[in-house]
Structure 1
Amino acid sequence: MQIVISALVIGGISALLAAILTIADALVNNYGEVSIRVNDSKDLKVKGGATLLSTLASEKIFIPSACGGKGSCGLCRVKVLTDVGPILPTELPYLSEKEKKNNIRLSCQIKVKSDISIEIPEELFNIMEYIASVSSITDVTHDIKEVFFDLEDEIEFKAGQYVQLIVPAYGDIKGETMRAYSMSSQPSVKSGVELLIRLVPNGIVTTYVHKMLKVGERIRILGPFGDFYLRDTDSDIIFIAGGSGMAPIKSIIFDMMEREVKRNAYYFFGARSKRDLFYLEEMKEVERKMPNFHFIPALSDPLPEDNWEGETGLITDVVDRYLSEQGDEIDREAYLCGSPGMINACIRVLTRHKVLEEKIFYDKFG
């Protein structure tokens, strides 16, 4: 715990120093017009001085960034083919040795001061900005809201992908803030997206959604992003999630049901007590329509008043018991969504039961 706190403190100090340097640089320097060469095929003429992340966004090229460019998520990686100086201390925690050697950088930390050449995945050119209006807000648990956004333009995505939600300035929060949320609606619903947003203490976006967001409000959404989606194989499927990690798994499962996918699938959903469970009836309905689908909710700390008769214990223990009973000879792949600690624990259990690491896909958050 002390190591985690120290890392968070260091990360916060680094982000603050980066912000101070950015402001000072903008006040002192005027870089004029510069060129960004993208994938050796597209040239952008832009005003110099801003970060690569924000500059590309101004040209409608959106790089993934769960933290909204604050230097605290490490998602906004791009390959930089031009010398833009040494890797910054704010980038180091998020880059592997291989990425460093391959000139991978965090676009939110690189300033566009002169002509630059970069490489990005081609699919990022398909990312769009959507104008959305809130059509419904529903409490599904005491700390998770289901929010549906109607979109002015139709969206195309794979079940399991995410979008970035942009909320306006409020209170002491200066400027817009952006955070990433997995879509819980299925791809057949093209006119809007459904998100499951859990209230995080002191979370800028989650606080806005839970305390201020209103039906009818217009808001901006970027997407779709991500490579967390169901692979087209014949393997049995293990889904594991907890809390708002339900979102991408729900999207995948409902998409499977619509497409009449016949694969064996087990969905292990972990919660602390009964008040943290939701969509139970919806999952029972899926079980009725998909004979090969099995939903296994489990409570790690059920209350006496819960009168819980289902599985108990940590979700990893429940998964371990099920896989032990079924045997390790079955060809399986797994899809996990939750905190890094939960996902790492699940990976250990799965690999112990002969699930290959290359067949374990996950979406980490928090």
Structure 2
Amino acid sequence: MTYTVTLQPSGHTFLAEANESILEAGLRQGVALPYGCRGGVCGSCAATVLSGQVHYPFGEPQGLAPYEEERGKAFLCMAAAASDVVMDAPRVGAEPDIEIKALPVRVEKLRKLADDVMEMTLKLPASERLRFFAGQYIDILLKDGKRRGFSLANAPFNDQLLELHIRHVPGGQFTSYVFNEMKEKALLRIEGPLGSFYLRDSERPVILMGGGTGFAPLKGMLEQMMAQGIDKPVHLYWGVRAKADLYMDSVVRSWVSRHPQLTYVPVLSEPLAADAWTGRTGWVHAAVAADFPDLAGYDVYLSGPPPMVNAAKTAFLAQGLPEEQLYYDSFEYSPDTLKAIQEKQA
């Protein structure tokens, strides 16, 4: 069966087979649908069903909260049309035009930021630049056809080198290679920029909330805002387990000392006795919710593990944050890495 998919308010119309995702159908026919992980986690491809029906023959999207599904939200990377369908997808036709490229890169520098976090600096060919927006990510293309996505941790104005923050995932083939075998000057191939998580122009104050290496895209956003001059309140919340996981704490504190509009709240969920921690503890989204009981007037950016992002979305929307002022990037494991982790834990 073939069904017609209509997107509002852009008016784009295309055909979708019953056995393909709406995202794939749209991309195949030249419709520039936003997307990120393609695995039902990040929510970059979300749209609202106005009429008709969709179903999930490829599995239920992990990042779609029950209350979102009740409101008609669908993740197009996993959803297939079950009838002719009309969807509200306001970002279609509104996304800025950025060319996605596949490029060779050289590993310019490897530097451990923490026991399980590596800063990888990639150098582009002399004749190439990668135009991107602060917060987007790239895929590293592996020889077996698989790919690994990592956020760009530097601002777009500094694009000769690309900065990634790579966390070592036990059982992760690529991250284990990075930590144990990779050498500087190694050659890789990348594709990017990707994703719809990037800094928007707005006069509203901003809350940036990251968990673990979810700090990386927020770092790029902050560097961009500082370069342009921070002219509104910007609040950074960084949630980690212990003090050692705040792998760029001194850097952020130096930014705060130079930019009065920037505030920084690190939150530890499991501080060690040796940390002698006197700051905030618990879940990072709970700290934000406590400090901002009314979020209606803010733009909020979330990046990090899916449980953190999902918990924050539920809490913040309940505290008045309009959905159109919420942007997020959920750091999911690749399917093969997740399988390796599960087998190791079994």
TM-score using structure 2 length:
0.70
How far is the alpha carbon of 1:65 from its aligned partner? Answer: 6.9
Structure 2: state its 5+ residue gaps: 1-11, 14-22, 46-54, 62-74, 87-91, 333-346
| Whole-Å separation in 2 of the counterparts to 1:138 and 1:238 | 29
Q: Are positions 1:165 and 2:140 aligned together?
A: yes
1:345 matched to 2:311? The reply is yes
Residue type at the aligned position of 1:300: S
Distance of 2:36 and 2:283 partners within structure 1: 31
Partner of 1:267: 236
Residue type at the aligned position of 2:304: G
How has the CA–CA distance of structure 1 residues 329 and 183 changed in structure 2, closer, same or farther, with 3 Å as cutoff?
closer
TM superposition shift of 1:97:
5.7
- 1:57-78 Cα offsets, whole Å, 9 max, x none, are 9xxx9x96748xxx7879998x
Residue 212 of structure 1, CA deviation: 2.1
When Rg is computed on C-alpha atoms for both structures, the one with the higher figure is 1
Q: Give the SS at the match of 2:166.
A: strand
CA separation of 1:329 and 1:222: change in aligned 2, threshold 3 A: closer
Rounded to whole Å, the distance in 2 between the matches of 1:351 and 1:335 is 13
Which amino acid letter does the alignment assign opposite residue 310 of structure 1?
G
CA gap 1:307/1:98 in 2 versus in 1, 3 angstroms:
same
Q: What's 1:26 paired with? A: none
2:124 counterpart of 1:151: yes
Q: How big is each residue's C-alpha offset from its partner over 1:307-354, in whole Å with a ceiling of 9 and x where there is no partner?
A: 112111111221122114xxx276111000012211111122222332
Cα deviation code 1:215-256 (max 9, x no counterpart): 000110110011111221111111111111011100000110
Q: Secondary structure at the match of 1:230?
A: coil
User: Given the two structures, how large is their TM-score scaled by the length of structure 1?
Assistant: 0.67
1:282-293 mapped onto 2 (5 Å cutoff): 282-293=251-262
Structure 1 stretches lacking a partner, 5+ long: 1-38, 41-51, 78-86, 105-118, 169-174
Q: Please say if 1:209 is aligned against 2:178.
A: yes
- Which 4+ residue blocks in structure 1 deviate beyond 4 angstroms? 63-67, 71-77, 91-104, 119-125
Is the contact between residue 65 and residue 179 of structure 1 (CA under 8 Å) also seen in structure 2? no
**Secondary structure in structure 1 of the residue aligned to 2:292:** helix
Q: CA shift at 1:275, angstroms? A: 1.6
Q: Distance in 2 between matches of 1:122 and 1:320?
A: 30
Distance apart, 1:288 and its partner CA: 2.0
1:280 and 2:253 are equivalent in the alignment: no
Q: Distance in 1 between matches of 2:215 and 2:278?
A: 22
The question of whether the paired residues in 1 share the 8 Å contact of 2:237 and 2:266 is answered with yes
Bigger RCO (CA 8 Å, 6+ sep):
2
Q: Tell me which residue corresponds to 2:224.
A: 255
